[in-house]
Structures are given as C-alpha cells and as structure tokens.
C-alpha cells in the first residue's frame, strides 16, 4: 500500500500551540444557557432517547453550534463548551440540555448491550484489566485511545473526582506526521491490520476478535482507531497471531508521541463542561483519579457516542467492529440483543446495570 504524505491544516495541531489560545473553547453566556434550559424543560416527561434537534429548538445557539460542529467534524477535531449550570440543574435537565447540543453534532448510537445512548463514565466497580469490562467503569488511568463505536465522542462533566482525572487530547494526524519523520517503517506497520478483542460483544456468527489497522488513509484525511488494551487482550485467543516486535515497537512510539508535551493538550475539565472529540482524528486520555466516598459526590460524566450521517467518506475497515447502520450507512453502535431498545437512564450504580 502506498503511504500518504504528511497531513497539514487545522487537524494537524500541536497542543503546545493551542494551549496559548482559547479558539477551541465556547463559553456560554446567560441568555444561551436560558435557551438551553427552556428547550430542556419543554420536553419534560418525554423519553430523551426519542428526541431530535427539532424537539429541542435553539434558535440563538444553532448558528454558533454549527460552527462548533464544523470545527469538530472538518477542522481541528475537538471543542470544549463551558458554563452549563449543573450545580443548580437536575440530572434530567442537564441530560436534556446535553442531548440538545449533541443532536446538533450527530446522531446518537448505542454504547453497551443494555441499550444506553446516554452513557455514564463513572467508577461502578469496573476492572480495567478484565477483558469483559470497560475502562470507563473504573477509576483507573486510561492511556491515550479512541472509543470503539463512535465518530464523535461527547463527555459532559456533572461532577469531578476528589483528585485526578485529568483529561487530555492529541491530534492523530500530528502523531502520524511525526512517525513518518522518525520511523517510516513503523508507519507501514501501523497501516496494516491489528487483531482486536471484541470483549464479549460479538453477535451470532462473529469471531470474538476482528482486524483493523491503527491508521487508515481516508482521502485527504487520516483516520485512527487505537485501543492498546484491546489489542493486547486479543492475544488471549489461541487462533490470533502473536504480536510482532515491530507492532509492539510501533505502539510504543504512538504512546510516547501522544504524551509528548509538545503534542498533547491538557484540559481543565470543570463541572458543566462538554468536551466533544472527533474520534476518527483525535486520541484522548484520562489519568487515574481518587473519588469521593459519598455516592452523591462521586465523579460522573454523561457520554454520547455520535455518528455523522453527512460526514466525510470513511475507510472500509472502520466498519469491522459493528457494521453499518442501515438508515445512515455510517458505523453502527453496539448490536443490541433481541428485545433491548435504545434508552437514556440518568444514572447507573453497578456493573449489573450495564
């Protein structure tokens, strides 16, 4: 396969440069917050999972959120929206306001086998080393990665941890450019398929693993899909080839570059902040955190996985995990068991709930 040249433009940014500006930050003003609150309150009692952007009108915010969406989908690949008053809003109003913003960016897809389209990043006893569980269910460090089922990932901070939980993002295009400069031989390795663990989410007829490159050329863009833990846990299957020294060296280089202070951008992720990340062009991370002992104070983020029906053409390997949505033709979220429907709970408290 012919390797593409280096990538340029807004998507190939360096964190040290962006840290000097706030061009990626939208601070909501009181009238915009009031508009969100009114839209949320007007849908009280209706199932959040069924609401569309038309159900949640935002006439003043719409043109501003279109610009934010353009930055996320076709620009630098991320944005931070600040100022939602979660300290006085109920979880229900917070969820509806968040949903209103998310529906301006894309269409929500299901995040787990019980049908959550409004997910919960919260320590509910998860074990990051358990191959049948997810890291977001724990307080553990989550190294730089992409989420497995989204084009855009949204995180809305309701409550922070007692300490820790630092959020950072990094440009995949910049990492790719640096790899091409430093080790073009490893760039070739990363453009070839890696075996990945489905983590118990296979459906009938599927193997418990699938194949996908880490970096995938997509026209004038470079798409990325990288969860090192899932690549390593896939080695538990006897019929999966063993990782090569070059593959491990290539992943080590990704990790080293992602944590380079020149490349990554650390975020002061506050209550009421919404982080929106283009999962195809950006990696994100979260440090380990210490939570509050009181249940009502525990760190809690709402999560959205969004697909972009009118987004740019995607490389075929991105469909290997879940397949395509018949309605949009875009990558599908979790394949639900029979009888399970998309739903949007306001909280979860145990692994059993997932």
pLDDT in tens, 122-172: 875 544 555 554 545 556 778 999 999 899 999 999 999 888 789 999 999
Q: 31 vs 22, 117, 330, CA distance in Å?
A: 21, 28, 35
Q: 205 vs 12, 201, 209, 210, 325, CA distance in Å?
A: 39, 12, 12, 12, 18
Indicate the pLDDT class of residue 349, thresholds 50, 70 and 90. Answer: confident
Residue ranges making up the domain that contains 253: 15-298+306-348
Q: Indicate whether 6 belongs to any domain.
A: no
Q: Indicate whether 107 belongs to any domain.
A: yes
**176 burial via Cβ count (<10 Å: 0-12, 13-18, 19+):** buried
Q: Indicate whether 70 belongs to any domain.
A: yes
Q: Indicate whether 35 belongs to any domain.
A: yes
**What confidence tens digit (pLDDT) does each residue in 292-318 have?**
788 888 889 999 999 999 999 999 999
Q: Which two tokens stand for residue 287?
A: 């440090």
Q: Indicate whether 37 belongs to any domain.
A: yes
For residues 86 and 271, the answer to whether their CB atoms sit within 8 Å is: yes
Q: Indicate whether 29 belongs to any domain.
A: yes
What pLDDT score does 109 carry?
A: 94
What are the backbone dihedrals phi and psi of residue 254, each rounded to the nearest 5 degrees, phi first? -55, -50
Query: 205-243 burial string, b = 16+ CB within 10 Å, else e?
Result: eeebbbebbbbbbbeebbbbbbbbbbbebbeeeeebeee
Range name among 113-117, 163-167, 249-253 with the lowest pLDDT average: 163-167
Please check the confidence at residue 246 and state whether its pLDDT lies above 50. Answer: yes
Q: Indicate whether 354 belongs to any domain.
A: no
- Predicted model pTM: 0.92
Residue with tokens 């890291």: 135
Classify residue 266 by its DSSP letter. E
CATH of the domain at 314: 3.60.130.10
Nearest CA to 307 out of 111, 19, 37 is that of 111
What are the backbone dihedrals phi and psi of residue 50, each rounded to the nearest 5 degrees, phi first? -100, -5
Structural domains of the chain, count: 1
Q: Indicate whether 8 belongs to any domain.
A: no
Please check the confidence at residue 351 and state whether its pLDDT lies above 50. Answer: no
Please check the confidence at residue 212 and state whether its pLDDT lies above 90. Answer: yes
Of all residues in the chain, the percent with pLDDT exceeding 70 is 93
What pLDDT score does 353 carry?
A: 43
What pLDDT score does 100 carry?
A: 98
């Amino acid at each position: 396969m012919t390797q593409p040249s280096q990538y340029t433009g807004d998507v190939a940014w360096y964190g040290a440069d962006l840290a000097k500006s706030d061009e990626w930050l939208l601070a909501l003003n009181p009238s915009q917050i009031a508009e969100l609150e009114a839209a949320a309150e007007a849908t009280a009692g209706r199932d959040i999972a069924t609401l569309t952007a038309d159900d949640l009108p935002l006439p003043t915010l719409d043109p501003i959120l279109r610009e934010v969406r353009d930055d996320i989908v076709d620009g630098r690949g991320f944005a931070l929206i600040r100022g939602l008053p979660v300290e006085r809003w109920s979880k229900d109003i917070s969820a509806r306001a968040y949903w209103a913003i998310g529906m301006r960016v894309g269409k929500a897809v299901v995040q787990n086998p019980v049908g959550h389209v409004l997910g919960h990043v919260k320590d509910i006893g998860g074990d990051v080393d358990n191959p049948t569980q997810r890291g977001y269910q724990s307080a553990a460090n989550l190294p730089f990665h992409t989420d497995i089922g989204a084009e855009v990932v949204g995180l809305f901070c309701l409550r922070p941890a007692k300490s820790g939980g630092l959020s950072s993002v990094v440009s995949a295009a910049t990492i790719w450019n640096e790899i091409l400069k430093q080790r073009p031989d490893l760039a070739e390795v990363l453009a070839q398929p890696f075996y990945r663990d489905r983590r118990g989410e296979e459906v009938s007829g599927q193997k418990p693993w699938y194949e996908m490159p880490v970096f995938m050329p997509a026209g004038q863009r470079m798409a990325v899909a990288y969860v090192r833990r899932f690549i390593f846990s896939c080695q538990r299957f006897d019929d999966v080839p063993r990782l090569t020294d070059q593959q491990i060296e290539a992943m080590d280089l990704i990790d080293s570059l992602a944590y380079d202070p020149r490349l990554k951008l650390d975020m002061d992720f506050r209550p009421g902040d919404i982080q929106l990340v283009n999962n195809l062009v950006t990696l994100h991370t979260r440090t380990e955190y210490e939570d509050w002992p009181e249940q009502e104070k525990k760190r809690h983020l709402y999560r959205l996985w969004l697909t972009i029906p009118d987004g740019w053409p995607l490389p075929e390997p991105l469909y290997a995990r879940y397949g395509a949505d018949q309605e949009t033709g875009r990558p599908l979220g979790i394949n639900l068991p029979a009888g399970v429907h998309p739903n949007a709970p306001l909280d979860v408290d145990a692994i059993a709930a997932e």
